[in-house]
Chain A
Amino acid sequence: MRLKNFTILYVEDEETTQELISEILKTSCKEVFIANDGKKGLELYKEKSPDIVLSDIAMPNMDGLTMSEAIKEIDPNQPIALFTAFSQSSYLKRAAEIGIATYILKPLNEEQFFNSLNFMAIELEVTRAESKHQG
């Protein structure tokens, strides 16, 4: 599977959801780094430089959008996907402004979830191949 080549940072404060999704990710990805809030997520991002970031929006200490904004300042091309129920329209407008283009619909549909992850993985492969070709 394509995702086996990629590392993922997964940020989620809700314990049951975190357990469920991290188990799914662990069987499909090269390595999964887990954080409980945006602050820890940002620290882990700086330490591990994951290929893909997956995050919830509403979290204590630092929310997913503030964390994503900080990550985009470090690397504007960093692929980030946000979990959303699409009911938080003001959040989503801000997310689009930050440059987040991938969303994972809640409640989770596993097939759509993997399709979205694979889409980001293909994008990364294409971008890296292009950079290699140019450089």
Chain B
Amino acid sequence: MEYNLKQISNLIENQDNLEDEKEFKLASVSLVCSIVNINENHKKEYAHLFKKDLNLQEDELLNIQKKILTNRLNINKKIHYIKKELNNNIYQIMLFLKILNKFAIIDGCNQESYQEFENIRDEFLKEYY
């Protein structure tokens, strides 16, 4: 199974349900940024993953990071927005979570990143547990 946002977007686009790709990207990147600390040391590595898995160019990423810094981030609101855009479809939610999981362990996994991933994962899946 190939896990990338482009594939998820294609699935959704086929159903004519993705209303605003930019908003979806902003919500997705907000979640990723709450999991990982994108410092100068790992900037290139993350930029590559953002491009590959989230179909996001470096300038788009910088703009989104600026927005995240200037707006108070409501993670649960982003999660519910993404779930709604994914039509609460468990297959698509799991594809999305696999992407977040990959970001959480990219650098060999640290406790803070992984626990934040778990919190987001459990909020996504609470009605399925």
How many residues of chain B have a CB within 8 Å of chain A? 23
Q: Which of B69-121 contact A (CB under 8 A)?
A: 90-91, 94, 97-98, 101-102, 105-111, 114-115, 118, 121
In the bound complex, how far is the Cα of B114 from the Cα of A86, in angstroms? 10
Kindly provide the distance from the CB of A77 to the nearest chain B CB, expressed in whole angstroms.
8
Q: Is the interface of B mostly helix, strand, loop or mixed?
A: helix
A92 to B104, CA, bound (A): 12
Q: Which residues of A contact B (CB under 8 A)?
A: 2, 86, 89-90, 92-93, 95-96, 101-103, 105, 112, 114-116, 118-119, 122-123, 126-127, 129-130
A126–B101 CB distance below 8 A: no
Which A residues are in CB contact (< 8 Å) with B62? none
- Complex A-B: 17 CB contacts under 8 Å: A2-B128, A86-B109, A89-B108, A92-B105, A92-B109, A93-B109, A101-B101, A101-B105, A103-B105, A105-B115, A115-B122, A119-B121, A123-B98, A126-B94, A127-B1, A129-B91, A130-B91
Residues of B near A127 (CB, < 8 A) are 1
* Beta-carbon contact of B118 and A116 below 8 Å: yes
Q: Please give the residue numbers on chain B whose beta carbons come within 8 Å of chain A beta carbons, in ascending order.
A: 1, 90-91, 94, 97-98, 101-102, 105-111, 114-115, 118, 121-122, 125, 128-129
B111 — nearest CB in chain A belongs to which residue?
A86
Contact assessment for B111 and A101 in the assembled complex, using a CB-CB cutoff below 8 Å: no
Which residues of B have CB within 8 Å of A105? 111, 114-115
> What is the number of contacts between chain A and chain B, taking CB atoms within 8 Å?
60
Given A114-B129, A116-B118 in contact, is the A122-B105 Cβ separation under 8 Å? no
**Interfacial chain A residues near B98, Cβ < 8 Å:** 101, 123
Closest to B112 in A: A86
User: B110 and A86: CB pair below 8 A?
Assistant: yes
Whole-angstrom distance between the Cβ of A97 and the nearest chain B Cβ: 9
Other A-B contacts than A86-B114, A115-B129, A122-B94, 17 sampled, CB-CB below 8 A, are: A2-B128, A89-B110, A93-B107, A95-B109, A96-B106, A101-B98, A103-B114, A112-B118, A114-B129, A115-B118, A115-B122, A119-B97, A119-B125, A122-B125, A126-B90, A126-B91, A127-B1
Residues of chain A lying within 8 A (CB to CB) of residue B111: 86, 105
B6 to chain A, nearest CB (A): 18
Chain B residues near A115 (CB, 8 Å)? 118, 121-122, 125, 129
**Closest 4 pairs (CB-CB, A-B):** A93-B108, A86-B111, A92-B109, A92-B108
